[in-house]
């Protein structure tokens, strides 16, 4: 009996002793800080700002966004197929939904972004009371948060148009309803925040934190988007939408907006801090391929303006350290989930600058011969040599050659390639398109076991040059536009553009889609240029057949384009809808067009 009651009596004794020790109740938690403590300690304030940076969507989000436009196909779907059919509604946001378990797009949509904006607003309310010993530290942090708040509002404007501009933190007694500001007002606010940030931030320093260049680069992107056709049509595409000011400008001069975009890009260029990475004029196609590939395979270079290192705390497996596992061929025990589609592969020109075409018999016979060097740095295709195969696969392919076809042996049997969904390795996974992503992926890392630690480039100098060129084109300054387009092309071993008029515009748009592939630009570019109807044509891939010899070597390859996914465009998808729950909570909101 005593043995049974002793633990109970001990517990009572300990409870009594604890209840008499009032100091226990007043101890400061070791895993968190009080509000008062944070705003009295500059080091904790810096940590608070570091946490706001986590609101920037992860590199995984950028890879995912490629699947929602004519760059990639997601082999597991995860609601991406409904998005490419424009089936988004106020009650269904697919991968943009806050509750969707694999969604990192939620970090850029309404609820998630306003949470981050609130963190910025709280900082602005509290910062003046913080006892900084050095004014420059205070100024830098104010500049960083101004940049971050501008970034978050830019995200909202790109997806929704005009949104409520909230600069205060709400309390429980406040009225939570707020009307949408016009698109013009949001852009003006973002530009003002960028200017404020640029005036406070250092010109140089850690590029994983906002600098003057990052603030000016964001301003360049914001004004480029704002000057584009989507936001300057008075919503004529929206079928009589009663509030066109919410999705674009309803007055003013589009040419003046293009001039502002040009000036913003020039401000970054005039800093003199950045240049295109690698040889300006590589001496061979192979050197040009290395030139472009190596932009992304280091921890920082002269082209970087703002980079993002990977945060496993927030995103666990679904982050850029796993980009190789996520996109690599399944024959290397990778997943191949975000695979380039035929439309992207076909946009890479021939090495002489002419268009690739499946209608050209020579191109069709050897579709991966004599292409833009960036093709080889960005895409893994049938016959491409990559890294050595894993130990359990290397006997079947000692060299490491991508196999996405079906091959006939001498006895007439057909063998599926190692990197197909019917092959012997990871047959539940792999690409439907016949392509895999090479860009960003560190070939020295075995991604089935290791995570690469390279940063993602949020802003780089090539984008600024292309922004400047696009503004020049809109202003009729074709010679100047060609100069900067050709700087980007020369770095990749491509001949200069010589076209003019609409042909030059088309050439520029193709150049931008290639240079910035998978860098989250294309989703917004096809919308702001209002070419989404052609961009959302059915996704294509490639079918490959060949002959396999006894030693496993493959010859006599033939290629044919195939359709791998039905897609459809509805103009309502120019913008996301505001979720129905948000509309019900805030009766002052007006829904976006066509929803």
Q: CB neighbours of 514 closer than 8 A, spacing ≥ 6?
A: 347, 348, 349, 372, 374
Is residue 441 within 8 A of residue 453, CB to CB? The reply is: no
557 and 428 both lie in a single domain: yes
Judge whether 202 lies within some domain: yes
48 and 176 both lie in a single domain: yes
Is residue 123 within 8 A of residue 129, CB to CB? The reply is: no
What pLDDT is recorded for position 27? 58
Burial class (CB in 10 A: 0-12, 13-18, 19+), 168: exposed
| CA–CA separation, 553 and 368 (whole Å) | 18
What pLDDT is recorded for position 60? 76
What confidence tier does 61 reach under pLDDT thresholds 50, 70, 90? confident
What confidence tier does 4 reach under pLDDT thresholds 50, 70, 90? very low
What tokens were used for 567?
């897609």
| CA–CA separation, 102 and 92 (whole Å) | 15
Average of per-residue pLDDT across 111-133: 96
194 and 240 both lie in a single domain: yes
What pLDDT is recorded for position 588? 98
- Among 98-102, 148-152, 429-433, 554-558, the range scoring the smallest mean pLDDT is 98-102
Judge whether 347 lies within some domain: yes
Is pLDDT above 90 for 439?
A: yes
Cβ count near 388 (within 10 Å)? 14
242 and 294 both lie in a single domain: no
- Among 91-95, 151-155, 209-213, 482-486, the range scoring the smallest mean pLDDT is 91-95
What pLDDT is recorded for position 293? 98
What DSSP assignment string belongs to 528-595? HTT-HHHHTSPEEEEEEEEEE-TTS-EEEEEEEEEEEE-----GGGGSPPPPHHHHHH-TT--PPTT-
Q: CB neighbours of 2 closer than 8 A, spacing ≥ 6?
A: none
Judge whether 557 lies within some domain: yes
What tokens were used for 353?
């600058």
Which of 518, 535, 552 finishes a domain?
535
| CA–CA separation, 225 and 249 (whole Å) | 12
Is residue 431 within 8 A of residue 75, CB to CB? The reply is: yes
Judge whether 102 lies within some domain: no
What pLDDT is recorded for position 583? 97
Is residue 356 within 8 A of residue 362, CB to CB? The reply is: no
437 and 516 both lie in a single domain: no
Strands in 554-565's sheet, in edge-to-edge order, are 414-416, 406-408, 539-548, 554-565
| First vs last C-alpha separation in the chain | 73
What confidence tier does 221 reach under pLDDT thresholds 50, 70, 90? very high
Average of per-residue pLDDT across 11-27: 45
Q: CB neighbours of 391 closer than 8 A, spacing ≥ 6?
A: none
Phi then psi for residue 389, to 5 deg, are -70, 160
Nearest CA to 191 out of 230, 149, 156 is that of 149
DSSP assignment, residue 271? T
Which of 508, 535, 562 finishes a domain?
535
248 and 297 both lie in a single domain: no
Judge whether 231 lies within some domain: yes
373 and 475 both lie in a single domain: no
Average of per-residue pLDDT across 222-235: 97
509 and 391 both lie in a single domain: no
What pLDDT is recorded for position 105? 53
What pLDDT is recorded for position 41? 96
44 and 175 both lie in a single domain: yes
Residue position matching structure tokens 């991406």:
80
What pLDDT is recorded for position 563? 98
Count the helices and strands in the chain (H runs, E runs): 23, 10
| CA–CA separation, 303 and 306 (whole Å) | 9
**Whole-prediction pTM:** 0.93
> In this prediction, what percent of the chain has a pLDDT beyond 90?
83
What pLDDT is recorded for position 99? 60
What confidence tier does 106 reach under pLDDT thresholds 50, 70, 90? low
125 and 164 both lie in a single domain: yes
What pLDDT is recorded for position 344? 98
What pLDDT is recorded for position 104? 52
What DSSP assignment string belongs to 327-346? HS-GGGT----EEE-HHHHH
3-state secondary structure at position 9 = helix
| CA–CA separation, 211 and 218 (whole Å) | 11
- Among 61-75, 248-262, 396-410, the range scoring the smallest mean pLDDT is 61-75
What pLDDT is recorded for position 16? 41
pLDDT tens per residue, range 295-338: 999 999 999 999 998 654 444 444 445 788 889 999 999 999 99
Is pLDDT above 50 for 18?
A: no
| CA–CA separation, 122 and 167 (whole Å) | 9
| CA–CA separation, 164 and 558 (whole Å) | 55
Number of domains in the chain: 3
- Please give the helix or strand (H or E) that residue 378 lies within, else none: helix 373-378
449 and 485 both lie in a single domain: no
Nearest CA to 404 out of 322, 340, 324 is that of 340
What pLDDT is recorded for position 63? 83
| CA–CA separation, 385 and 79 (whole Å) | 33
Average of per-residue pLDDT across 52-61: 86
3-state secondary structure at position 413 = coil
What pLDDT is recorded for position 26? 58
CATH of the domain at 47: 1.25.40.390
Is pLDDT above 90 for 97?
A: no
What confidence tier does 450 reach under pLDDT thresholds 50, 70, 90? confident
Which of 535, 562, 587 finishes a domain?
535
More confident call, 96 vs 387 = 387
Average of per-residue pLDDT across 17-38: 61
Distances in Å between the alpha carbon of 283 and those of 275, 408, 492? 19, 39, 10
Is residue 156 within 8 A of residue 163, CB to CB? The reply is: yes
What pLDDT is recorded for position 128? 96
What confidence tier does 453 reach under pLDDT thresholds 50, 70, 90? confident
Average of per-residue pLDDT across 118-134: 97
511 and 550 both lie in a single domain: no
Average of per-residue pLDDT across 277-282: 96
Judge whether 417 lies within some domain: yes
Mean pLDDT, all residues of the chain: 91
What DSSP assignment string belongs to 306-320? EEE---HHHHTTSSG
Average of per-residue pLDDT across 288-299: 97
Q: Which domain holds residue 475?
A: 459-535
Is pLDDT above 90 for 228?
A: yes
Average of per-residue pLDDT across 518-542: 98
pLDDT tens per residue, range 395-405: 999 999 999 99
Strand partners, 563: 540
Phi then psi for residue 200, to 5 deg, are -110, -25
3-state helix, strand, coil in the chain (%, to 5): 45, 10, 45
Judge whether 6 lies within some domain: no
What pLDDT is recorded for position 23? 56
């Amino acid at each position: 009996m005593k043995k049974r009651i002793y633990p109970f009596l001990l517990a009572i004794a300990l409870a009594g002793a604890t209840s008499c020790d009032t100091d226990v109740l007043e101890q400061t938690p070791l895993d968190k800080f009080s509000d008062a403590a944070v705003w009295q300690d500059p080091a904790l304030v810096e940590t608070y700002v570091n946490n706001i940076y986590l609101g920037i969507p992860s590199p995984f989000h950028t890879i995912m966004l490629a699947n929602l436009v004519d760059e990639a196909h997601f082999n597991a779907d995860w609601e991406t197929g409904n998005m490419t059919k424009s089936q988004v509604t106020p009650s269904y946001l697919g991968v943009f939904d806050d509750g969707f378990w694999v969604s990192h797009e939620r970090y850029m949509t309404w609820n998630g972004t306003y949470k981050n904006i609130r963190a910025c607003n709280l900082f602005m309310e509290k910062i003046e009371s913080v006892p900084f010993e050095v004014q420059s530290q205070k100024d830098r942090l104010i500049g960083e948060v101004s940049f971050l708040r501008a970034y978050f509002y830019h995200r909202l404007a790109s997806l929704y148009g005009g949104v409520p501009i909230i600069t205060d933190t709400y309390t429980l007694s406040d009225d939570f309803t707020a009307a949408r500001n016009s698109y013009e007002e949001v852009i003006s606010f973002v530009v003002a925040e960028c200017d404020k940030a640029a005036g406070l931030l250092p010109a140089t320093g850690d590029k994983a934190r906002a600098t003057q260049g990052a603030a000016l680069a964001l301003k360049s992107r914001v004004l480029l988007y704002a000057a584009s056709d989507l936001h300057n049509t008075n919503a004529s595409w929206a079928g009589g939408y009663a509030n066109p000011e919410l999705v674009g400008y309803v007055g003013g001069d589009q040419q003046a907006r293009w001039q502002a975009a040009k000036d913003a890009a020039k401000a970054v260029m005039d800093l003199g801090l950045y240049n295109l990475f690698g040889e300006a004029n590589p001496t061979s196609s192979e050197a040009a391929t290395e030139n472009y590939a190596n932009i992304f395979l280091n921890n920082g270079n002269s082209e970087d303006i703002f980079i993002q290192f990977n945060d496993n705390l927030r995103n666990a497996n679904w982050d850029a350290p796993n980009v190789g596992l996520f996109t690599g061929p399944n024959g290397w025990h990778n997943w191949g989930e975000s695979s380039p589609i035929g439309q992207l592969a076909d946009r890479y020109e021939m090495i002489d600058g002419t268009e690739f075409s499946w209608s050209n018999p020579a191109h069709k016979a050897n579709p991966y011969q004599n292409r833009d060097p960036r093709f080889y740095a960005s895409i893994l295709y049938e016959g491409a040599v990559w890294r050595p195969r894993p130990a359990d696969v290397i006997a079947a392919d000692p060299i490491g050659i991508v196999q996405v076809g079906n091959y006939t042996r001498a006895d007439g049997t057909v063998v599926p390639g190692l990197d197909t969904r019917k092959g012997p390795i990871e047959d539940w996974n792999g690409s439907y398109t016949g392509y895999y992503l090479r860009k960003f992926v560190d070939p020295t890392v075995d991604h089935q076991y290791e995570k690469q630690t390279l940063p993602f480039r949020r802003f780089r100098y090539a984008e600024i040059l292309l922004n400047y060129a696009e503004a020049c084109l809109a202003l009729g300054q074709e010679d100047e536009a060609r100069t900067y387009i050709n700087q980007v092309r020369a770095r990749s071993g491509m001949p200069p553009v010589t076209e003019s008029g609409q042909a030059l515009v088309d050439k520029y748009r193709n150049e931008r889609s290639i240079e910035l592939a998978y860098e989250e630009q294309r989703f917004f570019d096809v919308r702001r240029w209002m070419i989404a109807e052609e961009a959302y044509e059915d996704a294509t891939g490639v079918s490959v057949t060949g002959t396999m010899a006894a030693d496993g070597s493959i010859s006599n390859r033939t290629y044919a384009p195939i359709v791998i996914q039905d897609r459809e465009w509805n103009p309502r998808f120019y913008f996301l809808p505001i979720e129905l729950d948000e509309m019900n909570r805030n009766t002052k909101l007006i829904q976006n067009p066509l929803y």
